[in-house]
Amino acid sequence: MRRKLVIGNWKMNGSLAANSVLLRGIAAGPANQNVTTAVCAPAPYLAQCQAELAGTAIAWGGQDVSAYAAGAYTGEVAASMLQDFGCRYVLVGHSERRAYHHETNELVAQKARAALDAGLTPVVCVGETLAEREAGRTNVVVCAQLQAVLDVLENPALEKLVLAYEPVWAIGTGRTATPALAQELHAALRKQVAVRSESAAATIAILYGGSMKPENAKDLLAQRDIDGGLIGGAALKAKDFLAITGAANEAANETAN
Ligand SMILES: O=C(CO)COP(=O)(O)O
């Protein structure tokens, strides 16, 4: 059984004061035996995450990473810098980066590799826009996004990858993919990984993201190929985030029994 993984993506939200309340609230939550929990914070707050979360069961990570190790790349953050602040994870290729910063599938793949080279776990985000879905291009688009990453990774690095399926039309809209629709895509992604490596396909966690909330988390997380969630809005309130990690724990327990 794959362990569930729930990651909060704070996006460009927070302040020292608000983060402190949120981090303490999350850290005070119940221990979930079968769930790994993490938050991905804006880069300036990673030191705060480290200070507040070190010694707790909660991991932290960045929201983006440079494809380069060091040098004249103003504004970029290197994987080794994330390492310096104790990050375990980094999001790569979030749809907001792809849309607003014109990140290509190839650049996203280079970023995933840079993260793995530095010992971080990249959470590679893939997903189709509404127009792509309506044009019947969902699988083509999402498979191309994944394939670019598979093309630059060898085993055993591949087994350390985390994937997140985030349909763009479900992000921040309150419109969630149905559990069946999400399961279908997750299964297709796992099958695609299996073509390269059966063991990686069995190991890799595939998270769902897009308006996951306390109300719908359990149904989504009960799906066979949905190994966790990447949570935006609901990760900004400790109560909601804890409800989702609790739902993940319940889903994991039920699968185990
Ligand atoms: O983009 C997301 C997480 O990376 C999802 O955001 P929402 O949960 O706010 O829809």
pLDDT tens digit sequence for 141-156: 999 999 999 999 988 8
Write the pLDDT tens digit of every residue in 193-212: 999 999 999 999 999 999 99
User: Is 228 marked as binding a ligand?
Assistant: no
Mark whether 166 is an active-site residue: yes
Q: How far apart are the first and last CA of the chain?
A: 11
User: Which of 95, 169, 211, when mutated, tests ligand 1's pocket best, judged by the most ligand atoms within 8 Å of its CB?
Assistant: 211
Q: Please, what is the average pLDDT of the chain?
A: 96
What's the total number of domains in the chain?
1
Confidence category of residue 257, pLDDT binned at 50, 70, 90:
low
- What are the tens digits of pLDDT across the range 31-52? 899 999 999 999 999 999 999 9
Instruction: Encode pLDDT of 1-34 as tens digits.
Output: 789 999 999 999 999 999 999 999 999 999 899 9
Interface pTM, i.e. ipTM? 0.99
- Domain limits for position 159: 4-256
Catalytic residue among 52, 94, 128, 132: 94
For 119-148, how does the pLDDT look when each residue is reduced to its tens digit (9 = 90+)?
999 999 999 999 999 999 999 999 999 999
Q: Is 94 a catalytic residue?
A: yes
The CATH number of the domain holding residue 225 is 3.20.20.70
Determine if residue 20 is labeled as part of a ligand binding site: no
pTM over 0.95: yes
